[in-house]
């Protein structure tokens, strides 16, 4: 890849290369495979709203670190945090809210201090052309309007609850989903008339949905934090990925998707 590395990106590449090379001198504990095979993999648990952006960032990271394979598992941040605190093996956690990240930190499962690397805010996702003319949160409370929200324990659900309270809109959703992609899917399938999702998710589905901005979303911005995990199978790879997410290359991917600077 003919990419000019920044200092941080170069450091990320060095960390991964040195980590894999050192591991190759000893067999993996409890396994017939070599440690090199294990540490060439970086496992990242990330909020569902990061799916498209992290897939692209992973490709960039692999390009700078030949032989390294980044594997992502996406879902609701609260569910991923529970997996981590229950002992699920992973190297990195990227959460869609500080509250969710705190669960992992308080359990002693973070290696170092989490870093805020981007921000996101809600929009009202509606079918292309906005057939019901929904222009505000208040419109979601009108009779006959079917709405999908994220569950309250999920960051997008907590943000939606706060925004609706700020607007004084008493909305009774027909469904509450465990992550933002599931809420958006209900809209795309025609099961609801609107869904409160992140701006980035509406943008990623722009061929099918429109994103309606509303003023209350400015007071419910979600800060996304990332951290290497204490029991990471690949500590050097984890550190390198966390470093890379903050480089100009990775930040540009996030900006292109509609994320905001922290």
| pLDDT tens readout for residues 78-95 | 999 999 999 999 999 999
CA distances, 84 to each of 56, 74, 88, 103, 182 (Å)? 24, 13, 5, 10, 21
Pairwise CA distance, residues 226 & 98, whole Å:
10
Residue 39 φ/ψ, nearest 5 degrees:
-80, -5
Nearest in space to 15 (alpha carbons), one of 53, 56, 68 = 68
CA distances, 114 to each of 100, 228, 229, 241, 249 (Å)? 11, 8, 10, 13, 20
CA distances, 71 to each of 40, 46, 83, 169 (Å)? 11, 10, 16, 40
106-132: average pLDDT: 97
Q: What is the pLDDT of residue 4?
A: 36
| pLDDT tens readout for residues 134-168 | 999 999 999 999 999 999 999 999 999 999 999 99
User: Which residue segments constitute the domains of the chain, with CATH numbers given?
Assistant: 7-119+223-257 (3.40.190.10), 122-220 (3.40.190.10)
| pLDDT tens readout for residues 185-225 | 999 999 999 999 999 999 999 999 999 999 999 988 999 99
Structure confidence at residue 66 as a pLDDT band (50, 70, 90): very high
Is 20 or 70 the better-scoring residue by pLDDT? 70
Pairwise CA distance, residues 148 & 173, whole Å:
5
Q: Which two tokens stand for residue 132?
A: 């019901």
Strand 194-198, strand 147-150: pairing: parallel
Residue 155 CA to chain centroid, in angstroms? 10
Q: What is the pLDDT of residue 13?
A: 52
Nearest in space to 45 (alpha carbons), one of 227, 185, 187, 215 = 227
Q: What is the pLDDT of residue 177?
A: 97
């Amino acid at each position: 890849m003919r990419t000019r590395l920044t200092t941080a990106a170069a450091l990320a590449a060095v960390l991964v290369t040195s980590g894999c090379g050192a591991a190759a001198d000893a067999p993996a504990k409890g396994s017939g495979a070599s440690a090199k095979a294990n540490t060439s993999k970086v496992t990242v648990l990330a909020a569902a709203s990061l799916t498209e952006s992290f897939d692209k960032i992973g490709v960039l990271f692999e390009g700078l670190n030949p032989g390294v394979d980044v594997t992502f598992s996406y879902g609701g941040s609260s569910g991923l945090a529970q997996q981590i605190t229950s002992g699920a093996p992973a190297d990195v956690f990227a959460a869609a809210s500080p509250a969710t990240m705190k669960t992992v930190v308080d359990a002693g499962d973070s290696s170092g201090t989490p870093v805020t690397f981007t921000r996101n805010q809600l929009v009202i996702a509606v079918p292309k052309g906005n057939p019901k003319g929904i222009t505000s949160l208040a419109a979601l409370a009108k009779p006959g309007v079917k709405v999908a929200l994220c569950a309250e324990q999920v960051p997008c659900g907590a943000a939606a609850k706060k925004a609706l309270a700020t607007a004084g809109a008493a909305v009774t959703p027909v469904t509450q989903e465990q992550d933002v992609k599931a809420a958006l899917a209900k809209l795309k399938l025609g099961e609801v008339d609107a869904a409160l999702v992140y701006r980035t998710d509406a943008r990623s589905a722009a061929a099918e949905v429109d994103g309606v901005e509303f003023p209350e979303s400015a007071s419910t911005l979600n800060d996304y934090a990332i951290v290497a995990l204490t029991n990471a199978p690949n500590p050097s790879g984890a550190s390198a990925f966390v470093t890379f997410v903050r480089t100009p290359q990775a930040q540009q991917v996030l900006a292109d998707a509609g994320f905001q600077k922290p």
